[in-house]
Structure 1
Amino acid sequence: MALDARTDRASSEPSIPEKHDVVHIEGNDGAEEAEDPIEAKRVIRKIDLRLIPLLMFLYTLTFLDRVNIGNARLWNLERDLGMSGYDYNIVVLVFYIPYIILEIPSNIVLSRVQPRYWISFLTLGWGLSVTFAGFCKSFGGLLTARIFIGVFEAGMFPGCLFLIGSWYKRHELLTRMAWFMVSNDIAGSISGLLGAGLGSMDGTHGYSGWSWIFFIEGAVTCAAAALAFFFLPPFPDDATFLMPEEKEWVLRRLKTDNNQTGNDGKMSAKGAIRSLGDWKILTAGVLYLAVCVTAYSLSVFQPTILKTFGWSSLKSNLLSTPPRIASGIVSVCVGIWSDKVKRRGIFCVSGFTISIVGNLLVMLLTNGNLRYMGLYFASIGIYICQPLVIAWCSNQVVGSVKRGTLTAFAVSCGQLGGIISAVVYPSKDSPQYVPGISTCIAFQAVGILAAVNMWFWANRENKLREAGKRDHLRELPEEEFAKLGDKHPDFRYTL
């Protein structure tokens, strides 16, 4: 069921200048909006080109700088810093503490300042932290650097999702989020190659290979901060790269799509806490946690699992890339399809189901080739769900406060999946890794239940609104009625 709002618009409202034949797009209420399809595509493409490639680049660097410690470990990191026992595990896990805590506060700041200022500041902050990590002389120094990397990276992912969600109609959103999250696959594919190349500088100017990994990758991130500062677009209300009539058209279509004629204001701690009482935002956290347990497991342990097939280290590393490429392609295709048909639930449940089948093949079979096929299914299914659950849950809320809270809260819950995946794959469980894979399957089953519940409830509520069961809200004062958001009787949830 389409999620178009039913706000009446005066015929005097400006639209994009007509240069071609005009078509009429009908909303839920039968009202028609004059729109030149070629001009509309041109403006959306203009937004896409200004926003998506830059955010993809920044998020690729985020992922690389987060996981490069794994590559650095291969180049005498522990020996040089006198690390032993669980020191390395502590350094890896400590990153997640500030990352989880600071995501909602970061989005509160982002809603109050220009994105280019805040995101460029975060980029420069973690770039410098990575760079200075290369100078560390002790375990304590590296631990401090990892904490600061977590502090600055905390706002990047939810901030990017928040910004993307502010620019597009609800059924244009998943395609863009799928493209954005392809950055994971890009970073995962090149991190090993970069680690090998930069680490080979071992001994140059008296620094070990691990230091050069941090120096070079950190310096590139610092340079990227300048790109963010000069080229990252603001929220639509403050856009300067659009012509005045283009900006007005964008703002009007966004308000119409969200059925929101009033501004719900900037994010605040009070507003975020109040938003966390919305069960749809809590469901977003459950769904993204269900995704990330498997997604992190595949990212971190896939080469290890491949090696248990009896393959060499080189072959295992090389063959960990094709499933990521395949999953990236499929996730974008499903995103385009889902936006086209304006449905989310069926794709979400299907993605979790496909991934469960793949995990079962990896866990239960012994033939290496068949288990490798299982990894394809596991990867494709879960990476269908990763952008999908964020887009779907974002479709169910209205306003910058709820949208900013939702993206930050969901990503925070997702990081718990990274911690869980780090402790459920001990070496003693090789080669089938039954406890770890069973944990992934269990969380995916919870994801299916949460998705079915969202799907069922959204369908029920839409039917009640069609039957006029929420029309009593029309008697509210005009100012309150305009700010009902997803409670508006004309608003329709995405199925």
Structure 2
Amino acid sequence: MSELKHASDEEDVKRYAGGNNAAVGHDAVDVVCPAHTTERKITTRIDMHIIPFVVVLYLMAFLDRVNIANARAFGLEDELDMGGVEYNTALTIFFVPYVICEIPSNILLKYFSPRVWLSMCCIGFGAVTVFQGLVQNYAGLLTTRFFLGVFECGMFPGCFYLIGAWYRRHEAQKRFSLFFSSTSLAGAFGGLLASAIGQMDYVRGYRGWRWIFLIEGSFTVLLGVIFLFTFPSFPEQAAWLRDDEREFVKARLQVSQGLSAAERKITFKDVRTVMSDYKIWLGGFMYFGLIVPAYSYAYFATTIIHSYKFDPIMTQLRSVPPWAAAFVFSMVVAVFSDWVKHRFLFILGAICISISGFAILINVHDNLEVQYAALFLICLGTYSAMPVIVCWFNMNLGGHHRRAIGSAWQIGFGNIGGIIATYSFVSSDAPFFTKGYAICVSFICLSVVACVLYAAAITWENRKRSRQPRDLNLTESEKMELGDLNPEFRYML
């Protein structure tokens, strides 16, 4: 890549060791854009080939995961003769394979390629959703929820891994947030769709909750089959790029993130090395703390709204506006975060919004308008902070092997919080759910502590590396193996 002599983005071209946002300390590393195109055009093409696919995939995955909350409003528990905490248990069992299989899934994704692996996962969780609409008893529901977790586990960290493999750190947040905000779109779309499908109650002898699973699952299977032929992969495998364009994309990523080691396989030694880094554990706790309020809202928002004495159809419709507002706010946060090239303070600001929403619900029990407004604050704050946390952590990991393992660890460990969330809101606590709200606030505070410690750790590490000699006689291969542990690498705050 030494023959590449020019780049249109001066900010990424001239990175020096010691700069706060520099990834690696190359002296005036020059990256050439092929003469027949521009960097902006190539970035736009990348957006068109990557973002729509991952957004739609995650939208369908999240919809298939949380539509059980919509189904609950249309007779799921009554027909399957469920009571007590059986609904909560059905939510919990999803997370068992989801947590365990994250890291193995990312290793398999790298082996098979994102196109094959993520498409097969899509077909799998779509088919399981269809079967979920056909179950005849509680045991069948538990079985389908377990296998839903098996097939969905690789989708979320895999998509984040794929996005991180294409974009430089200062331009990644908008893409991460757009992808992550598929949850908000899924929540809004799911409420509208459920209110429409609910009208099919008893059509062909099926209750409305069955039609929710059958229709949404069938569409997901069809989408997975299409993705099997169209879903994108890593830059090294992108047939839609010319050779010189592919080299340019790889070169500019090297300037921002360092060498990737994309061609080498991930070993158990890599897993052990990555997991020995205390910053990796902090990344897990940052996400873990926010998963509890995030899944609490996703699974129980309709239950909370229904406790305000709305009928099932109005409950579904009332669930839509907070999700829509969260999508818009999340993208605003992402744009400004990329603009100032900073993550930490944006996370803290969003978290404060979420805490204020829970504080209102804990203390206000006689004003439906204020209580409903608090749901907006919770959804806005939680679902705008989470993508920034994941992007911040992922883009501070250098090298394919460290990012594959680290991102899977963060998502896998974080989703243990989903198990906690499923038992935080039980029917016996209705209508105030004070215990559930208090649990959510406690875990948000845990996330704040982890974020502060991670920010302090990477700031200290950057300062320490800036004081070290710049030339440590490391070979390019050694730098590649070290990833973000390379002394020339600089973490983004």
Amino acid at match of 2:52: P
CA distance 1:396–1:289, change in 2 (3 Å) = same
The answer on whether the counterparts of 1:60 and 1:187 sit within 8 Å (CA) in structure 2 is yes
Match of 1:455 in 2: 455
Q: Bigger shift: 280-289 or 365-374?
A: 365-374
Q: Is the 8 A contact 2:286 2:451 kept in 1?
A: yes
Partner secondary structure for residue 61 of structure 1: helix
Structure 1 residues 478 and 244: CA distance shift in structure 2, 3 A: closer
Q: Which residues of 2 match residues 43-58 of structure 1 at below 5 A?
A: 43-58=42-57
Q: Percent same amino acid among aligned pairs?
A: 35
Matched AA of 1:344: R
Deviations 1:388-421, CA, capped at 9 Å, x for gaps? 1111111221111221122212222232222212
Query: SS at the partner of 1:387?
Result: helix
Q: Could you say what secondary structure the match of 2:30 adopts?
A: strand
Spell out the pairing of 1:354-369 with structure 2 (5 A cutoff). Answer: 354-366=353-365, 367-369=367-369
Q: Alpha-carbon deviation of 1:319?
A: 3.0
Residues 134-170 of structure 1: CA deviation (Å, up to 9, x unaligned)? 3333333332222221111111111111111111111
Q: Distance in 1 between matches of 2:81 and 2:371?
A: 38
Please say if residues 264 and 399 of structure 1, whose CA atoms lie closer than 8 Å, have aligned partners that are also in contact.
Answer: no
* Aligned ranges 1:53-452 → 2 under 5 Å: 53-260=52-259, 262-263=261-262, 265-308=264-307, 315-366=314-365, 367-452=367-452
What is aligned with 2:15?
28
Could you give the per-residue CA deviations for residues 195-222 of structure 1, whole angstroms, max 9, x where no partner exists? 2333433444444433332222111011
- Measured after TM superposition, the shift of residue 223 of structure 1 is 0.5
Partner residue of 2:21? none
Q: In 2 relative to 1, CA 220–313 (structure 1 residues): closer, same or farther, beyond 3 Å? A: closer
Distance of 1:314 and 1:72 partners within structure 2: 12
Query: 1:436/1:109 Cα in 2 relative to 1: closer, same or farther (>3 Å)?
Result: same
Which one-letter code corresponds to 1:121 in the other structure? M
1:54 and 1:351 mapped to 2: Cα distance? 27
* Structure with more relative contact order (C-alpha pairs < 8 Å, separation 6 or more): 2
Q: Which moved more, 1:205-214 or 1:335-344?
A: 205-214
Give the drift of 1:365.
2.8
CA shift, 1:60, in A, is: 1.1
| Paired position in structure 2 for 1:6 | none
- d(CA) in 2 for partners of 1:181, 1:162: 13
Query: RMSD of the TM alignment (CA)?
Result: 2.5
Once residues 210 and 150 of structure 2 are traced to their aligned partners in structure 1, the CA distance between those partners, rounded to angstroms, is 21
CA displacement at 1:90 relative to structure 2 = 2.9
TM-aligned CA deviation for residue 15 of structure 1: 6.5
Deviation at 1:182, TM superposition (A): 1.5
**One-letter identity of the residue aligned with 1:486:** D
SS of equivalent to 1:33: coil
Task: List gaps (5 residues or longer) in structure 1.
Answer: 1-8, 17-21
CA apart distance, 1:245 = 1.6
| Count of aligned pairs | 479
Once the two structures are overlaid, the 10-residue window that deviates more, 159-168 or 351-360, is 351-360
Question: Could you state the TM-score of these two structures normalised by the residue count of structure 2?
Answer: 0.89
Q: Hey, what's the Cα distance between the residues in 2 that align with 1:33 and 1:332?
A: 31
Given the superposition, is the C-alpha separation of residues 356 and 394 from structure 1 closer, same or farther in structure 2, using an over 3 Å criterion?
same
| CA 1:457–1:242: 2 relative to 1, 3 Å | same
2:489 to 488, 491, 495: 491
Distance 1:114 1:365, change over 3 A: same
Range moving further from structure 2, 253-262 or 321-330:
253-262
CA distance in structure 1 between the partners assigned to 2:33 and 2:474 by the alignment: 36
Q: How far does the alpha carbon of each residue in 1:46-83 deviate from its partner, in whole angstroms, 9 at most, with x for none?
A: 11111111111111111121122333334444454454
Check whether the contact 2:4–2:31 (CA below 8 A) recurs between aligned residues: no
Per-residue Cα deviation, 1:213-249 (whole angstroms, up to 9, x for no partner): 2222111011101221121111111111112221110
The yes-or-no answer on 1:480 pairing with 2:478 is: yes
**Which secondary structure does the structure 2 equivalent of 1:172 belong to?**
helix
Inter-partner Cα distance in structure 2 for 1:261 and 1:210:
46
Q: Relative to structure 2, which stretch is displaced further, 22-31 or 309-318? A: 309-318
Q: CA deviation at 1:113?
A: 1.2
Structure 1 length-normalised TM: 0.89
In structure 2, do the counterparts of structure 1 residues 373 and 208 end up closer, same or farther at CA, with 3 Å as the change threshold?
closer
Which residue identity lines up with residue 181 of structure 2 in the other structure? V
Distance, in Å, in 2 between the alignment partners of 1:401 and 1:131 is 35
Whether the 8 Å CA contact 1:99–1:151 is kept in 2: the answer is: yes
Matches of 2:84 and 2:356, distance apart in 1 = 36
1:116–1:232 CA contact under 8 A, matched in 2: yes
Q: Is the 8 A contact 2:176 2:391 kept in 1?
A: yes
